[in-house]
Amino acid sequence: MITEDYVSFEIAKLLKEKGFNEPTWTRYEDDNEVIFGDKYDWNNSPMGQISAPTHQMAMKWLREEYGISIEISALKRHQWVYTIYRLLEKKVAEVWNDGTYVSYEDATDDALKYCLENLDKFI
């Protein structure tokens, strides 16, 4: 069964810090569990929930807001890497990670984390 892949709680917090405020159907109410509900901007909720976007939503937000594109590539079965491209201007043009990941989702999570923690290098 194919399921949606949501960003980790750690990445959800980084997204909130960096200004992600898109409505989502999912949210974190604690550090482990994704809760489904109404489509809402949970990051601006008075009850302190944090939006739990999918990997694809977070990647699209980085592309649209900051011109940062993340590419996940397979080296071979169970061996994934990521490359980050700056789509605008001539600042950091490309970042390629040295490590490899056993899943596409792990590579995506790490790439998102890298981008959010180093956003000032890209803008």
- Kindly state the average pLDDT of the residues 99-113: 90
CA angle 6, 115, 78 (to 5 degrees): 60
The pLDDT-based confidence of 96 (bands split at 50, 70, 90) is low
The total number of residues written for the chain in this structure: 123
Assess whether pLDDT exceeds 80 at residue 21: yes
Residue 92 has pLDDT above 70, yes or no: no
Q: Give residue 43's region: left, alpha or beta (phi > 0; psi -120 to 50).
A: alpha
**DSSP states of 6-18:** BPPHHHHHHHHHT
Which residues make Cβ contacts (< 8 Å) with residue 11, sequence separation at least 6?
58, 109, 112, 113, 116
Contacts of 40 (CB under 8 A, 6+ apart): 23, 24, 27
Domain ranges of the chain: 9-122
Q: How much is the pLDDT for 31?
A: 66
| Cross-strand bridge partners of residue 27 | 35, 51
Q: Is the pLDDT of residue 90 over 80?
A: no
Query: Is it the case that residue 91 has pLDDT exceeding 90?
Result: no
